[in-house]
């Protein structure tokens, strides 16, 4: 079954970008059902020597008229990544009759220059997706085609923490604060030394201070009926245990046996009463959730692109997509 693909950009006029030079950008990508007559083509980004294989899609094709309104899955990428890294899941969901749509989170995405603010104030991601759900139903190609009362969320790594926030998890602390009990609070591999930026930003940036003050806000969106958390990032252990105990939205936590975030995923599962824990293969690592790699990717970044010999990334993706469909169809 062919899949449609469309990209666009909204702006959040209630929040400035990190420079303060304009509104916060919401650059989005969506995969969705189209008619059988739609013509797909293969595309990749960047166009030269892409690291990851991207499946074919019918760019800007009209949405299929088979249903009046479609359920929607909001996607949240990993830290420093892009929604295109979840293309494998989005295409599968679109073939099953979902609209799958996500944002490249401002300042925390490879499609923009990295900003310390975007990595530190990750809770802004949750509001990105709530606003995206509002906006796609109100304007553009999907207006009138989205069942906003049948919405779900799927997130990978820091996107998994974002998904948890959307079902009611509330941050109590950041692992990058000096007072954090985290054993690894200096910064992710995408932004080494991130914690060193915190004192200066608190002193110099009013925009950052305003965002930092929103850390403990409640970002729950009652329209979200279930959440898929793929290798949820270490930030989940900064959630208030009281907020986690109150969550009754179904959640599925998927993590590999060799993933460095596995202890945090287990910690979260033990505190979410409506969650299930789905372990992957013992040798599956953290980056098994990004797309299958090209030869260029394997040569440029083996840590992201090469799995243990016993792990087949395509099979993992098929398995996780089936788990997602089961969760969302039950939801």
Counting residues of the chain whose pLDDT is more than 70, the rounded percentage is: 95
pLDDT reported for residue 196: 92
Rounded Cα distance between 249 and 236, Å, is 16
Q: Which residues of the chain have pLDDT under 70?
A: 44-49, 177-185, 330-331
Which residues does 175 contact at the CB level (< 8 Å), separation at least 6? 182, 184, 185, 234, 235, 237, 238
pLDDT reported for residue 180: 44
For the chain, the domains span 3-330
CA distances from 277 to 15, 269, 283, 299 (A): 35, 6, 17, 33
Residue 279: strand pairing partners: 255
pLDDT reported for residue 181: 46
Cα 153 off chain centre by = 8
- What is the b/e burial string over 166-200, where b = at least 16 CB atoms within 10 angstroms of the residue's CB? bbbbbbebbbbeeeeebeebebbeebeebbebbee
pLDDT reported for residue 331: 58
What would the 3-class secondary structure string for the chain be?
A: CCEEEEEEEEEEEEEECCCCCCEEEEEEEEEEECCCCCCCECCCCCCCCCCECCCCEEECCCCCCCCCCEEEEEEECCCCECHHHHHHHHHHHHHCCCEEEEEECCCCECCCCCCHHHHHCCCHHHHHHHHHHHHHHHCCCCCCCEEEEEEEEEEECHHHHHHHHHCCCCECCCCCCCCCCCCCCCCCCCCCCHHHHHHHHHHHCHHHHHHHCCCCCCCCCCCEEEEEEECCCHHHHHECHHHHHCCCCCEEEEECCCCCCHHHHHHHHHHCCCEEEEECCCCCCHHHHCCCECHHHHHHCHHHHCCCCCCCHHHHHHHHHHHHHHHHHHC
pLDDT reported for residue 251: 98
CA distances from 115 to 120, 122, 186 (A): 9, 11, 15
pLDDT reported for residue 177: 67
Biggest CA pair distance of the chain: 58
Contact 118, 131 (CB under 8 A): no
Q: What is the pLDDT of residues 79-93, one digit of tens each?
A: 999 999 999 999 999
pLDDT reported for residue 328: 97
Superfamily of domain 3-330: Alpha/Beta hydrolase fold, catalytic domain (3.40.50.1820)
Q: How many residues are there in the chain?
A: 331
Rounded Cα distance between 137 and 329, Å, is 21
């Amino acid at each position: 079954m062919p899949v449609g693909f469309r990209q666009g950009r909204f702006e959040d006029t209630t929040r400035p970008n990190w420079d303060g030079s304009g509104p916060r950008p919401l650059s989005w990508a969506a995969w969705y059902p189209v008619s059988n007559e739609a013509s797909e083509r293969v595309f990749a980004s960047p166009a030269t020597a892409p690291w990851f294989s991207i499946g074919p899609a019918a760019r800007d094709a009209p949405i299929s008229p088979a249903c009046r309104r479609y359920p929607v899955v909001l996607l949240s990428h990993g830290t420093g990544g892009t929604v295109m890294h979840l293309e494998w899941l989005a295409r599968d969901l679109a073939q099953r009759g979902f609209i799958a749509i996500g944002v490249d989170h401002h300042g925390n995405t490879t499609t923009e220059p990295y900003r310390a603010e975007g990595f530190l104030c990750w809770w802004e991601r949750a509001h990105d997706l709530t606003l995206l759900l509002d906006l796609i139903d109100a304007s553009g190609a999907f207006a009138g085609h989205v069942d906003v009362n049948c919405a779900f969320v799927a997130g990978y790594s820091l996107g998994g923490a974002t998904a948890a926030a959307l079902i009611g998890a509330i941050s109590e602390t950041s692992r990058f604060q000096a007072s954090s009990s985290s054993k690894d609070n200096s910064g992710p591999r995408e932004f080494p030394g991130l914690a060193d930026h915190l004192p200066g930003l608190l002193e110099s940036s009013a925009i950052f201070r305003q965002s930092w003050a929103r850390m403990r806000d409640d970002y729950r969106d009652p329209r979200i009926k279930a959440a898929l958390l793929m290798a949820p990032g270490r930030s989940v252990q900064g959630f208030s245990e009281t907020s986690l105990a109150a969550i009754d939205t179904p959640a599925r936590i998927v993590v590999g046996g060799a993933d460095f975030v596995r202890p945090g995923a287990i910690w979260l599962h033990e505190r979410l009463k409506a969650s299930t824990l789905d372990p992957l293969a013992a040798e599956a690592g953290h980056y098994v959730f990004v797309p299958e790699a090209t030869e260029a990717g394997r040569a440029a970044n083996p840590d992201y692109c090469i799995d243990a010999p016993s792990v087949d990334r395509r099979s993992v993706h098929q398995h996780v997509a089936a788990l997602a469909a089961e969760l969302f169809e039950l939801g």
